[in-house]
Amino acid sequence: MRMVIEIESKSELEKLSALFKTFNTVKVISADEPKIPIVRGNKKLDPTALFNIWEKNPRSLEDIREYAWKRNQ
């Protein structure tokens, strides 16, 4: 069985870890959330090339939703 507990402060984590370590059948695994690197976009790219890409084949919001649901099934 696995249980996940989210704790804000390191001191509370240490206290709770010490408590759990007193039990013989409990395994304590500490996992910090991975830091996702922030990558800045290329400002030289021109987004205007995307304007009117659906001009010859217009799509409604319902069409887009229907396509997305089919793709996820």
**Residue 1 confidence (pLDDT):** 78
Tokens representing residue 54 in the block: 């659906």
3-state helix, strand, coil in the chain (%, to 5): 40, 0, 60
**Residue 72: pLDDT band with limits 50, 70, 90:** low
State pTM to two decimals: 0.35
DSSP code of 50?
G
Residues in CB range of 28: below 8 A, 6 or more apart: 17, 20, 21
* Residue of 20 and 72 predicted with greater confidence: 20
pLDDT in tens, 15-60: 888 888 888 887 777 777 677 888 888 888 888 888 888 888 888 8
